[in-house]
Amino acid sequence: MIGSKILLVDDEEIFTRNMAKLLTTRGYKVTAVNSGDAAIQALEAQPVDVIVLDLKMPGMDGLTTLKEIQKLGLFTQTLMLTGHGSIDSALEAMKLGAYDYLTKPCEIDDLVAKIEGAWKKKDTAVQQDMQEKIQKIVESPKAVFEVFPSKKR
Could you give the residue ranges of the DSSP H alpha helices within 62-142? Answer: 62-71, 87-95, 108-139
**Closest Cα partner for 84 from 105, 100, 98?**
105
At 145 the pLDDT is 67
Residue range 9-66, pLDDT digits in tens: 999 999 999 999 999 999 999 999 999 999 999 999 999 999 999 999 999 999 999 9
Residue range 68-121, pLDDT digits in tens: 999 998 889 999 998 765 777 877 888 888 999 898 888 899 999 999 999 888
Domains, the chain, with CATH or none: 5-125 (3.40.50.2300)
Task: Answer whether residue 144 shows pLDDT above 70.
Answer: no
